[in-house]
Chains A and B, each alone.
Chain A
Amino acid sequence: MSVVELRDVSKVFEQGQTVALQGIDLAIEAGEFISLIGPSGCGKSTLLRTIGDLVQPTSGTIVVNGKSAQRARRDRDYGIVFQDPVLYDWRTVAKNIALPLEMLGWNRTRRARRVQEMLELVELGGFEGHHPWQLSGGMQQRVSIARALSFSPALLLMDEPFGALDEMTRERLNIELLRIWQETSSTIVFVTHSISEAVFLSTRVVVMSARPGRIAELIDVDLPQPRTAETREEARYFELVTAVREALAHGGADRIVEETL
C-alpha cells in the first residue's frame, strides 16, 4: 500500500501568483526513502509541507496512510524535522524529545522510558539534562530527529535537515539516519539540495524543476543496502550522481526553452 499518494497536486501562492507546484503525481511505498531534489524555488519544501497538511494545495488530492492529509495530521501519522532543529530553549533535551508524547497524553514513566530509548537511538545518552544551547548543531539536529521519531510515526518528513551542518557532520548523520531508518522501518521523505546526499540516502530520487515546480524525473537508486562510507566510492554511486545531475540540468534546460517560447 502507498503511504503517500499525490494526484495532480498544484499549489499557487496568492501573492505574486507564483505557481509553486504543478501537476504533481507521486506514490510513495511503505519503507521507501524518497529524496526531493531541485533548484531553489522548485517547490520541494512546499511539496513536503502539503504532504504534512501544513500547506493546503490549490488543487489535486493527497492521500496519506489511506486517508486525507488533514486526517493523517490529526492522527499524528508523521514526524517532521526542519533545517533548523527548532528545539525549545526552555526545555531540556529529554523534555524536548518528550514534547509530542505529552501531546499524546502519555504518562510520566512511559515518556521517560521512551526518551531513554530515543537518546540511545540517536546516541545522545547522558545529555538528557542539557539545554539545547549547550549542544553542537549536529547534536541539536539529532535531538530534533529523536523528537520526530519518539511517537513512532510511520512517516518521517525531513526538510533539508542537515543543510546547516558542516560536511563531516552531515556525512556522519547520513549514515546514522540510514541506520535509524532501517531500525524503525519507517518511510522517509527527505528534501535536500545535495545530489550526493540524495543518491547516498535514497531508494528513489525525485528530481524537480522550478517555475512552475514539477517533477522532471524519477530515478531509482539501486545501490545495495546497508550503505556505508564505501558506498560513496562505488562506480554505480557515481553513475547515479551523474544521472541526477543531468536530470537537474535537463529540468533547467526545459525551463529555459519554455521561457524563450
Chain B
Amino acid sequence: MGLSLGRAPRRATLLLVVLGLLWGLWEGWRWVGMHFALTWPFTVDDITMPHLHKIVQALFQPAQVNGPWLLDILWHASLFTAKESAVGLALGAVIGFAIAVVVSQSRILERGFIPYVVASQTIPLLAIAPMVVVGLGSKGITDWVSVCVLAAYLTFFPVTINTLRGLQSADPRAVELMHSYAAGRWRILWKLRVPAAMPFLFSAFRIAAPLSIVGAIISEPSASIQGGLGGAIVNFNQYYSIEPQELWATNLIAALLGIAFFLAIVGAERLVVRRAPEHVA
C-alpha cells in the first residue's frame, strides 16, 4: 500500500498524457480532413468534427437564451439517468444472480433454460420497450420505473452467464472437502461456490454497469421521459446540423457517467474481493 502514494501522481500524469494524445488525434484528423478535403470515410467539417474546445465551451453556455448552462441541464439529466441506471443495474444484478443460482442446481435446468436467456438478448430493446412502458403504466407505476426494468433487461444477461461460470469454477477438491464436512447443497453454495464466483460476478458488473446506462438512455424516449440524458440526446439530435457541439457535449457527459459507474464497480470490487494480488485486475 505504501506504493500507492507514488502511484497516484504517476497515474494522473498518464491520464493527462492519454487525454492530450486523444485531443491531438481529434484535432489532427480534423485539420488533415479539412485541409485535404477528405470525403472518406466521412466528410470532415464543423458539423461532423467540431473543435474539442467548442464542445467543452458549449457546456458553459446556456442551451437556450437566458436559460441555465448546458452543464447545469446535463448535470441534472445525468443524476436522473444515473438513478434509473443504478436501480436497473441492481435489479438486473439480483435477477441475473438468482437465475444463475437456480440454474446451477441442475444440469437439465441449465441446458433447458440458458438458451432462452441468450435468446432474450437477441430481441432489440426498442421492441420490448413499448410493452414494458404500456404494461407497467397501465398498473399506475411511475414511468421511470419502466426505464429501470428495461435497463435491468440488458444487465441481467452478463451477470447470469458469468455467475454461472463462477459457481462452477470452485476447485473440485474444495467441493470434496465440503463433502467431508457433510455439507449439504446450500452450505456448499454459500460457503464455497458463491465466494469463489465473486471475481466472475464483478467482471460481469464491469460490463453491466455501462450497459445499464446505455439501456436507460435508449429506453427514456420510449417512456417519454424528457429529464434524463436520453431525453437530452433526442432533443439535441434535432439541432445537430446547426449546433453539433451540444449533442457532442451530451455524449461526453454520458461517457463520463459510464466511466463513473465503471469506477464505482472497480472500487466495490477492491473492497469485497480478497484475492492474491495477481488475480486483482
Contact = CB atoms under 8 A, between A and B. Distances in A.
A99 B180 contact: no
A80 B180 contact: yes
Interface stretch (B221-229, B232-240, B261-269, B273-281): B273-281
A73 B173 contact: no
A86 B177 contact: yes
Interface residues on B, range: 20 to 34
A90 B182 contact: no
Residue in B179, B187, B198, B277 with the greatest tally of chain A CB atoms within 10 Å: B179
Given A54-B179, A79-B180, A103-B182, A86 B174 contact: yes
B273 A86 contact: no
Contacts of B181: 76, 99-100, 103
A54 B176 contact: yes
Nearest to B278: A133
A89 B276 contact: yes
A227 B150 CA distance: 70
B171 interface: yes
B90 to A, nearest CB: 23
A103 B183 contact: yes
Given A88-B195, A90-B195, A82 B182 contact: no
A20 B208 CA distance: 48
Nearest to B279: A89
A103 B190 CA distance: 12
A91 B183 CA distance: 18
A89 B273 CA distance: 10
A90 B179 contact: no
A213 interface: no
A73 B276 contact: no
B174 A88 contact: yes
Interface residues on A, range: 20 to 34
Interface of chain A, main secondary structure: loop
A86 B175 CA distance: 10
B185 to A, nearest CB: 13
Contacts of A79: 180
B192 interface: yes
A170 B239 CA distance: 76
Contacts of A53: 179
A75 B273 CA distance: 33
A73 B174 contact: no
B174 A133 contact: no
B191 interface: yes
Residue in B176, B195, B273, B275 with the greatest tally of chain A CB atoms within 10 Å: B176
A199 B274 CA distance: 41
B180 A78 contact: yes
Interface string A62-93: 00000000000111101110101010111100
Interface string A43-56: 00000010011100
A102 interface: yes
A179 B187 CA distance: 33
B275 A89 contact: yes
A51 to B, nearest CB: 11
B275 A86 contact: no
Nearest to B183: A103
Contacts of B176: 49, 54, 80, 82
A131 interface: yes
Contact of B182 (A76, A88, A99, A133): A76
19 contacts: A49-B176, A52-B180, A53-B179, A54-B179, A74-B182, A76-B182, A80-B176, A80-B177, A86-B171, A86-B173, A88-B195, A89-B274, A89-B275, A89-B276, A89-B279, A90-B196, A90-B198, A90-B273, A102-B191
In the A-B complex, the 4 residue pairs with the closest CB atoms: A133-B276, A103-B181, A74-B182, A80-B180
Interface of B: 171, 173-174, 176-177, 179-183, 187, 191-192, 195-196, 198, 273-277, 279
Given A73-B182, A80-B176, 20 more contacts: A52-B180, A53-B179, A54-B179, A73-B180, A78-B180, A84-B173, A86-B173, A86-B177, A88-B174, A88-B192, A89-B276, A89-B279, A100-B181, A102-B191, A103-B181, A103-B182, A103-B183, A103-B191, A131-B274, A131-B276
